[in-house]
Amino acid sequence: MESVQGETTGSAGEFAHQIEAALAKVRPALQADGGDIELVAVEGRDARVRLKGACHG
């Protein structure tokens, strides 16, 4: 699994940037409820995220 915290190359790096852009759109709503979201890793066309904080379903 490729870490997004390190160097990303090629299409995986581009995909990670697309995911970050999508997360930036939903992040304010999560933060308004005391939470947050973090992109942890990218594997192929799959992204792993971590939900943080006080988000309750």
pLDDT on residue 13? 83
> So what's the pLDDT on residue 10?
66
Residue 50 lies in a domain: no
**Is 20 within the bounds of a domain?**
yes
Residue 17 lies in a domain: yes
Domain total of the chain: 1
Rounded to 5 degrees, what are φ and ψ at 56? -125, 140
pLDDT digits 0-9 by tens, 6-56: 444 567 788 989 999 999 999 999 999 899 999 999 998 899 999 998 755
Residue 19 included in any domain: yes
What is the predicted pLDDT for the residue at 27? 96
In-domain check, residue 57: no
Query: Is 25 in contact with 13 (CB distance < 8 Å)?
Result: no
In a domain, 39, yes or no: yes
Residue 8 pLDDT = 46
Residue 33 belongs to some domain of the structure: yes
Report whether pLDDT(3) > 80.
no
**Residue at 25 is within a domain:** yes
